[in-house]
Amino acid sequence: MTALEVRRLSVRFGEFRALEEVQFSVPEGAFVAIVGPNGAGKSTLLKAVLGLVPYQGEVLVYGLPAGKADPFWFGYVPQIKTFDRSFPALALELVVTGLRRRWPFRLSPKEKEAALAALAQVGASELAYRPLGRLSGGQLQRVYLARALIRRPRILLLDEPATGVDRVGEEDLYRYLEAYQKASGATVLMITHDWEAAHHATHVLVLNRRVVGFGPPERALSEECLRQAFGHVGHAHGLFVEGGRA
């Protein structure tokens, strides 16, 4: 079954073309690593799939236009966290916003139970009652992942989830994702600068405003695709190996 199909997707911001005629199809249960240089339109692609930016073309989710798909089919971890860290709120409350899609000023017992279960799923039970302002970057990423998982999504969209996370935390993060995917059969699309993670995905999407390569890692990460996307193969490898942002 096809989980996500993108047809001739184009996004413009004024005169700037962020994406042009992007097309690919993702089978259910796939783990897709999205790679490309800065300004390639990777984050814009995820936002278009979620309907957060206007676009031309089609996005189909299990055969339905994305606008008609159940919002709870999606879980999303953004790269940039836009909340005020001085806001007096707890990690548990942030996780519940994944259910309510707004800030909860009072939690029901059912919501609290679901949030605690989601935090446990990502190894963050001890963070439940900790103020958001006291969380490290890695802890905050796990809380946001719990926020995405609380709705048990069929499609999980992750925008550089390992940003601000040390190597041990990054390995933990991937382990939690693998466990969730194995248990749920969910489809995962993840923007990453981690070369190793890209090689372990089932599919790789190499993007530079257009689709440069898509398919199994050994094909999509060919020298020809990398040269076309990054301009220089050695430079592309350096972006990943040295932990630079791609």
pLDDT tens for the chain, residues 1 to 246? 999 999 999 999 999 999 999 999 999 999 999 999 999 999 999 999 999 999 999 999 999 999 899 989 999 998 866 666 677 789 999 999 998 876 767 788 999 999 999 999 999 999 999 998 888 888 888 899 999 999 999 999 999 887 777 778 788 888 888 889 999 999 999 999 888 888 889 999 999 999 999 999 999 999 999 999 998 655 455 444 433 333
What is the pLDDT at residue 75? 94
Q: Give Cα separations from 158 to 47, 107, 137, 183, 188 (angstroms).
A: 11, 26, 15, 18, 8
> Does 39 reside within a domain?
yes
**Which of 135, 96, 88, 131 minimizes the C-alpha distance to 113?**
96
> Does 53 reside within a domain?
yes
> Does 114 reside within a domain?
no
CATH number, residue 69: 3.40.50.300
What is the pLDDT at residue 103? 75
Q: Which domain holds residue 157?
A: 2-82+152-241
> Does 212 reside within a domain?
yes
> Does 95 reside within a domain?
no
What are the residues facing 56 on neighbouring strands? Answer: 10
> Does 142 reside within a domain?
no
> Does 147 reside within a domain?
no
Using only C-alpha atoms, what is the Rg of the chain?
Answer: 18
For residue 129, the one-letter residue type is: Y
- The number of folded domains in the chain is 1
> Does 158 reside within a domain?
yes
